[in-house]
Each structure stands twice: as structure tokens, then as C-alpha cells.
A = this chain, B = another copy of it.
Amino acid sequence: MATKKRAHELGVAAVAKRAGVSTATVSNTLNRPHMVAPATQARVRAAIEELQFVPNRSASALRNGSGRLIGLVVPDIVNPFYAAIAKVVATATRERGYVMALCVSGDDAEVEMAHFTMLAEQRAAGAIVVPLGADTSRLARLRLVDAHPVLVDRRWPVDDGCSVAIDDERGGFLAVRHLLETTTGAVAIINGPLDIPQCLERETGARAALGAAGLDPDQLITRTVAEMTIEAGETAALELASQTPGGVFTTNDQLAVGAIRGFARAGVRVPDEVSVVGYGDLALATESLLPLTTIRQPKDLLGRSAVDLLLGEIESAGKRHHHEAVLHDPSLVVRSSAP
């Protein structure tokens, strides 16, 4: 380490000489640019380019006592919802001088815990986490080393920390209100397990839309599937077809694609005889042969808010910080499956 530090100091000295400034000015240009006049900064940066000097930020971060590493912990990166969040978080952290470590927990609590341990060992400044399940006790590992955790797409008591999520009840409400306004006949929901908070909230919103239209919320025909896949949607729609609903709300886009397939197999035409509204506005919403009416989640806003909350907390060091729980509204996107 002494060697690396020494190499860094020699580099700073060479840049200072070339730019005709002191080594303190080089250091300030790198670490506290607001203290250096723009023209001087430009001279220092030109010398850095000419000498191909690469400042050692990992050492300087340690000297300042605050890491530049931010963890993003998600259950899956192939899921386009999490991929969209990762894209925004990677970009926003880079723009503000941090490095984002991507941690994929793969729906495995042990792997998630191994990631928290690794981020703690690396003295990460903080982590943006989509935790597995409702048990957030594993996040204590991060707090041991003062790494700030911010939840995304999940909520916890605001005393525990910052969080940013989407109002899924609002999403369910928007989907079913659209079906009530554009179709006649009964409304059905094809939903995942109700112990998943998002599924419960989307169904609560769906019932609220019936209530707001002066109907009995218990008129909602419900079908619950164990896995929210295309196959499950197809099976559920085949079963539903005999009840001739006018509109079906599926709580993700995969179920919607499956439901359209199932109705086609049962000889029920979408959208002429039954309308289908999905949830998520994934790529498959427009890639399927029948483009989906669906609920769009503000993924970019979710990622940007999480970064703002986390860096606000990290950079408040010493000052008073108040946790915030931010909730963003989703929106309805109308396409062919429920015009």
C-alpha cells in the first residue's frame, strides 16, 4: 500500500509541476473543485490528460473516511423491471461520483445475506435494496458499519430508514376503473398469491374501483395463481371463459399474454368479447401480437428517487437527517387489448 500511495503522490507532484501550481491545488482540483478557479482547474486537468495521470480515488476515499461504493441488491437482473432500476441507479450514482456494485440475490436469503456481508466488509457508503420477503432484519449487517440502507419497491416504517415505492393500490384502481368505463358485464381479476404485498394491494385497489362506481366490491370474480407466468394466465382464462366476464385485470403482463392465449383457445375474442388489462408495461406489452393495455410503473423515477434519498443521507453526515417514505403513482397506458 505504501508503494501505491507513494506512486499517487509522485503523480500529483508531476501534475503540479506541469501545470505550474502547488500540489495542494492539484489535490483540491481532484477533491474539492469548488475551491479552485475554473481557469486553474482547466490547467490542472490538461496536465492530468497529458501525463495520463490516474488519481487513486480508492485510497483517497479511505483517507477521507467515506467509501464511494454503493450496493444495489435486487432479486433478479434479467427481470426487466429490476434491470430498468439498475440502469437508472448505475447512471445516477456514476454522475455523482460513486461506483455501483450490482448484487443479485436470486430469491435466496443466504445469498442476500452474503451480499450484505460483502458490502459491509467493503465499507460501502450505502445500499439500495429490494429485500426478499418482509423480513428486513438481515439489513442490520449494513448498519453495523454505518452503510445506509434505502428500500426500493418495498416499504418499511419510516423510522427504520428511507424507502421509495409505487402505489400499487392506485394501479389496481386505475386498471379496473378503465374496465368499468369501457366494458359491460362482470369484471374478473387473475392475481398472484395474496401474501405478496403488491398482489394484495393491486386487488384492494381493484375492489375500491368497484366501490367507487357504486358496485358491490364482492362482485369481483377472483382467480389466484401460484406462479405469475404466461402458462398460469392461459389456464386461468380457460377456466374463466365460461363465466363470460366483460373485462379481466391481470396483475402482471405475463398473465395478460397468457390470458389472451387462453381466451383465444376457448374461442373468446379479445378485445371484442373480453378486454384484458395487464400490469407493468414490460417490453412484452408491445412485443406480443396484440399490444397490451397495462399499468405503467415509473421505474426511472423509482431509481432516481432511491439515489437521491441515499446520497442525501450519506452526504448529510454529521448534519440532521430525516428519513422519508416516498410513494409514486403509476399510470394507465391504453392499447389494443382493452381499448
Contact = CB atoms under 8 A, between A and B. Distances in A.
A99 B80 contact: no
30 contacts: A1-B62, A4-B65, A4-B123, A54-B144, A54-B145, A56-B121, A57-B118, A57-B121, A58-B58, A58-B123, A59-B123, A72-B102, A77-B77, A77-B86, A78-B84, A78-B87, A83-B83, A90-B104, A91-B104, A91-B106, A94-B114, A94-B115, A94-B118, A101-B101, A102-B102, A257-B289, A260-B289, A264-B289, A288-B288, A289-B290
A63 B4 CA distance: 9
A130 to B, nearest CB: 14
A98 B93 CA distance: 20
Contacts of A264: 289
A18 to B, nearest CB: 17
Contacts of A27: none
- Oligomer: number of copies: 2
A284 B118 CA distance: 35
A99 B121 CA distance: 11
A290 B289 CA distance: 9
Contacts of A91: 104, 106
* Range, interface on chain A: 35 or more
A266 to B, nearest CB: 15
Interface in A81-127: 83-84, 86-87, 90-91, 94, 99-104, 106, 114-115, 117-118, 120-123
A52 interface: yes
Contacts of A65: 1, 3-4
Given A80-B78, A102-B101, A145-B54, A63 B1 contact: yes
Interface string A29-70: 000000000000000000000001011111100110101110
Contacts of A99: 69, 101, 118, 122
Interface of A: 1, 3-4, 52, 54-59, 62-63, 65, 67-69, 72, 76-78, 80, 83-84, 86-87, 90-91, 94, 99-104, 106, 114-115, 117-118, 120-123, 141, 144-145, 230, 254, 257, 260-261, 264, 283-284, 286-290
Contact of A58 (B76, B94, B122): B122
Contact of A287 (B86, B87, B257): B257
